[in-house]
Structure 1
Amino acid sequence: MTTTLPPTHRALVLDQIGQPLRVETRPRPQITPGTAILRVLTTGLLSYSREIYSGSRKYSLPTPSVPGNGAIGRIVAVGPDATTLQPGDLVFVDIYIRGRDDPTVAALSGVHDGHTVFSRRMMHSEWRDSTYAEYARFPLENCYALNEKRLLGSPSEGGLGYTVEDLLYLAVQLVPFGGLRAIGVDMCDRVIVSPATGAFGSTAVQVALAMGASVIAMGRNTETLEKVRGFFGAAYGEDRIQTVPITNNVEQEVAGLSRFGEADVFFDISPPEAAGSSHVKSAIMSLRHSGRACFMGGQREDLGIPTFYLMRRNLTVKGKWMYERGDVVKLIQMVEAGILKLGQEGGARTVGRFPLEKWQEALDVAAERAGPGERVVFNP
């Protein structure tokens, strides 16, 4: 199923890691079985996108290729084997691509080509181009139809009144949601989130609260930490979120955490810069018997985990990269039901929007505006 489409489109191209990007007019992606072509309406940037393309983050990507990130698009064509998606559908585009014959083989379209030779083979061939373009081709299973009337409609008519850019926050919320679901966060759990002052950490606070848990948010920047507490406390209840500063003094941090009772869950989403931080040990030592810990952070060095506490308290430790397909469906359901907020109600706002030609400025603003809920977008 197709509509009349232009033969060419504009795309942002990465010729080689460490070289400047450039905008190129190239043939529009062609439909094949198992795929959908979408018109990209808006797509986000990571705060560390500049580091990826410069090579300082040491991520591997196919080159030349079109980089990208999670996007909101409108379907313009689907393969002959599509059963529900059709042209005109508004969709969330998930960049977490899995092998169809082995879903444990996975990579992030436009960000990272995965951790195995098989994921790299997949991303360097069929899926080398991502969403920083006017049109993109993705697997059918990575395009999730959205209830446009509910999400974008006027509140006076039963809608939630979001903008298309607001819907991009789904891509950020999904990451901590995958980890929190993986360790079974439930209503009335007490969850330590650390660090809680970055883009993914602050979002983890919101998602955990929406799942019915209470949260102890940890961070070094106490001013930002209080902003996170103030905003989400107002949205979900001030008594459900507390804060404890990271001081690099384990005894001090444990004492701060103990004021709120033993925690059920520790959720870590540390950036690489947090290597050697004290909060991992402090949080694990603050878990109750049979508590759980989930590690989703980007630290490359080994962590100093107090194994005595793991053994004596029967703790469960789980590593999690990204999320499952069922998590995407569940998260969209929570948003459409109004349980999980987007836009200003969800603490998110667009601080920069750019055409593809302004890619350098967009990368710079994304790096500089990396606070809670801040997003920079391309509108191709």
Structure 2
Amino acid sequence: MTSPLPPHHRALVLSTRSSGFSLHTVPIPLPTPGSAVLRILQAGIISYHREVYDGTRPYSFPTPLVGGSSAIGRVAALGPDAVSLTVGQLVFVDCVVRGRDDPRELFLTAISEGARAGSKKLFRDVWRDGVWAEYARMPLENCVPLDEERLCAGLGYEIKDLMYMCHLLVPYGGLRDIRVEPGETVVVAPATGGYGGAGVQVAVALGARVIAMGRDEGKLAALREHVKMGTPGASIETVRISGDEKTDTAALQAFGTIDAVLDFTPPAASKSTHLKSAVAALRRGGRVSMMGFVDVPASSWKLVGDNITLKGKLMYEREDMFQFVKMLERGLFPKGEEFVDAKTFPLEDWKEAMDSAAEYTGIGKLVSFAP
């Protein structure tokens, strides 16, 4: 179940954090039981990749390694136990690797080896290298089939557009975890960053009414316009985060019943009070998906007195990916620039690409490599 592979390929290798990346010609990865070798077409770059690899964010991982996270690729070769994937098939390549005999052991490809002994062993000894390369070897279960005929020929998506899945899947995992339903009202905060903006887009696709919170009124207005252009019937409101807990709570309460909150607070804003305001505005029995970094999410009396469900969520589950792809293939998301405005770079321009990813954030913004 293999196709001819070249003996070598190009990959971005991080030898040490201090030295940065360099483009190397390295041996091609070969398929093993439980794996697929992918020809990488688009490899996503997240906004904080630069901080991960220069040591600003103290994530733990061994070096040397090939960088990356998620990707869109085409199956180039398969291990002997593959039964459904086929050579040439278009797939989304997921960056969340889990232990097959213990799914609690998980890590993010080429970003963090996790905190447990099992995840560290998997990262260091089995799945060290990421997808910033012409080819990559990944677990079979991390390759999610995409209906290329439907998505590209039918709906008109380009391959580079589909890479935006790496942003959309994260909030989808949080929203699905707290079972957001059509017609409910969801607060997304902060909503003007990459994952927050994607969260607004996913919540709208799910049929929810969205209240987007952010500090910059200009970015909030642009977000609202972007959503309305892509989905004319979308229900979206905005609230500027003032920094005053009671003021922000009152601003949210003015919109009536609020069912759920999706939070993406970045580490730098961990002491912000916006999540406390959003939780205070929740109805009795409301739900919160915490996907960011907040020191104190809410008063204990609010949580206990109103039966609030507070759930932490890292990324998404495997079944979430398949359900999300069904939504995408059914045409529930916009297309063209109302879906994503992508910037792509060759591997040679890795520094410019990571600098661009750090600045080019928000709803519909994506930076990727095209190896």
Taking structure 2 as the reference length, what is the TM-score of the superposition? Answer: 0.97
Q: CA deviation at 1:255?
A: 1.4
2: distance between equivalents of 1:57 and 1:68?
16
Q: CA deviation at 1:60?
A: 1.4
1:356 to 347, 351, 354: 347
Mean Cα deviation higher: 363-372 or 229-238: 229-238
Q: CA deviation at 1:341?
A: 3.3
2: distance between equivalents of 1:87 and 1:364?
35
2: distance between equivalents of 1:18 and 1:337?
46
SS in 2 for 1:290: coil
1:107-126 equivalences under 5 Å are 107-126=107-126
Q: State whether structure 2 residue 78 is matched by structure 1 residue 78.
A: yes
Mean Cα deviation higher: 109-118 or 206-215: 109-118
Q: State whether structure 2 residue 198 is matched by structure 1 residue 207.
A: no
Q: CA deviation at 1:200?
A: 0.3
2: distance between equivalents of 1:304 and 1:43?
34
Partner of 2:368: 377
Partner of 2:225: 230
Partner of 1:63: 63
Q: CA deviation at 1:63?
A: 0.8
Q: CA deviation at 1:238?
A: 5.7
Partner of 1:103: 103
Query: Relative to 1, partners in 2 of residues 1:296 and 1:252: Cα closer, same or farther, differing over 3 Å?
Result: same
1: distance between equivalents of 2:111 and 2:136?
15
1:267 to 262, 270, 281: 262
Q: State whether structure 2 residue 311 is matched by structure 1 residue 318.
A: yes
Q: State whether structure 2 residue 220 is matched by structure 1 residue 220.
A: no
Taking structure 1 as the reference length, what is the TM-score of the superposition? Answer: 0.95
**Aligned Cα RMSD in Å?**
1.2
Q: CA deviation at 1:343?
A: 4.1
2: distance between equivalents of 1:315 and 1:237?
32
Partner of 2:181: 186
Query: Relative to 1, partners in 2 of residues 1:345 and 1:304: Cα closer, same or farther, differing over 3 Å?
Result: closer
Q: CA deviation at 1:275?
A: 1.6
Partner of 1:34: 34
Contact 2:201 2:363 in 1 (8 A): no
Partner of 2:43: 43
Matched to 1:340, the amino acid is: F
Identity in percent: 47
1: distance between equivalents of 2:232 and 2:249?
24
Partner of 2:127: 127
Partner of 2:88: 88
2: distance between equivalents of 1:358 and 1:108?
23
Matched to 2:187, the amino acid is: I
1: distance between equivalents of 2:297 and 2:167?
28
1:269-348 equivalences under 5 Å are 269-297=264-292, 299=293, 302-346=295-339, 348=340
Matched to 2:261, the amino acid is: F
Partner of 1:138: 138
Contact 1:215 1:241 in 2 (8 A): yes
2: distance between equivalents of 1:34 and 1:11?
22
1: distance between equivalents of 2:362 and 2:167?
13
1: distance between equivalents of 2:64 and 2:334?
37
SS in 2 for 1:217: strand
Contact 1:185 1:265 in 2 (8 A): yes
Contact 1:246 1:278 in 2 (8 A): no
1: distance between equivalents of 2:63 and 2:335?
34
Q: State whether structure 2 residue 167 is matched by structure 1 residue 172.
A: yes
2: distance between equivalents of 1:41 and 1:246?
39
Q: CA deviation at 1:274?
A: 1.2
Contact 2:227 2:338 in 1 (8 A): no
Q: CA deviation at 1:302?
A: 2.3
Partner of 1:156: none
1: distance between equivalents of 2:290 and 2:129?
29
SS in 1 for 2:103: coil
2: distance between equivalents of 1:42 and 1:343?
17
1: distance between equivalents of 2:307 and 2:232?
31
2: distance between equivalents of 1:87 and 1:237?
39
Q: CA deviation at 1:320?
A: 0.5
Q: Which runs of 5+ in 2 are unaligned?
A: none
SS in 1 for 2:322: helix
Contact 1:35 1:138 in 2 (8 A): yes
SS in 1 for 2:9: strand
Partner of 2:190: 195
Deviations 1:242-282 (A, max 9, x none): 01110111111111111110210011011111121120110
Matched to 1:62, the amino acid is: P
1: distance between equivalents of 2:160 and 2:101?
34
Matched to 1:379, the amino acid is: A
2: distance between equivalents of 1:244 and 1:148?
39
